[in-house]
Amino acid sequence: MSEHPADWYPDPTQRHELRYWDGTAWTDHVSNQGVAGHDLVSTTDVGPATTRMDRLDAGLTLGDEGKSETINTQLTGTGRKGIGLTGPVAGGGGGILTEPILIVNQKAKLIELNNQYSVFDQHGNQVAAVNQVGQSATKKVLRLVSSFDQFMTHQLQVTDPSGRVLLQITRPRKVIKSTVIVSDGDGRELGRVVQQNMIGKINFGLESDGHQLGAIKAENWRAWNFRIEDTAGNEIARITKTWEGLAKTMFTTADNYVLQIQARPSEPLNSLVVASALSIDTALKQDSRGFG
């Protein structure tokens, strides 16, 4: 059974933007662009309520972000459309901590109160979902009417398709620079992603137990692409932002990224690299279209 608290979530019937979950079942209360309404819901619409909510927890309700042509363009396209991949990359074990390529696509919404991402492997199989959790009603209102929520604490949960929590990502409230705390599924801290500068190309340190394990370096001031290095300065991974399309760029806040890992590092650096790609938008950026 789902442990999701009562709150507004994406409508599983896909007839509305949001539908209210009372902690046990979906209700008839819906919302579209902030306007409340009523729409009867039945098991015919969504199946057994708890089963459907568990599927939503696992991020299995897909929109354009999961279409095979979208993923293919991100992998084989060139320029801002994709990474120019010419063929499958060898290796991978079917999970976010083993696959050599991860496609991170944000669920597009006209009004975004909770960030949600679907994560796919290079073959288009969903391997994980990222959901923002712990959003209070106050935070949602601030997010709706202002950008002040970027200075507040943000939490992300990374789950596999069965709903098991793999990683937990927390960005405590910030004043100027961001710090991201990465924990395992049981809440044990693995390390931190620490912003190093505010001017010029943004850089982050990858740290654990006070030791520097690597770094993330933006390759331009707009931070479209990021180079991830070990302590010797060798590139071990790369994050590339791919163009989400004209309609999404103009009318939504959706962002899409591809993570390429040349060689899997040992833990905890491996988890920090993956967490960086999964949180690059929500936890590290937290503004409308830029970075910082």
Per-residue pLDDT of the chain (292 residues; tens, 9 = 90+): 445 677 777 777 778 877 888 878 888 988 876 677 889 887 666 554 444 555 444 333 435 566 778 888 899 998 778 899 998 999 888 899 999 999 998 875 434 446 788 899 999 999 999 888 876 666 555 554 445 555 678 889 999 988 899 999 998 877 677 889 999 999 999 999 998 887 888 899 999 999 999 999 988 776 678 999 999 999 999 999 887 554 333 333 457 889 999 989 999 999 999 999 988 776 555 443 333 3
Q: State phi, psi for 145 to the nearest 5 degrees.
A: -105, -5
Looking at the fold, whether 108 and 207 belong to one and the same domain comes out as: yes
In this structure, what CATH number is given to the domain that contains residue 103?
Answer: 2.40.160.200
Question: Can you give the pTM of this predicted structure?
Answer: 0.70
Q: Indicate if 90 and 125 belong to the same structural domain.
A: yes
Residues 181 and 147 in one domain: yes
Separation CA 92–CA 90 (nearest Å): 7
Residues 6+ apart with CB under 8 A from 11: 17, 18, 19, 30
> What sign has the CA pseudo-torsion 132, 135, 139, 143?
positive
Evaluate whether residue 2 is within a structural domain. no
Domain presence at residue 254: yes
Same domain, 82 and 50: no
270 in the same domain as 143: yes
Residue 43's domain spans which residues?
Answer: 7-57
Tell me how many domains the chain contains.
2
Query: Looking at the structure, do residues 76 and 196 belong to the same domain, yes or no?
Result: yes
Q: Give a yes or no: residue 95 inside a domain.
A: yes
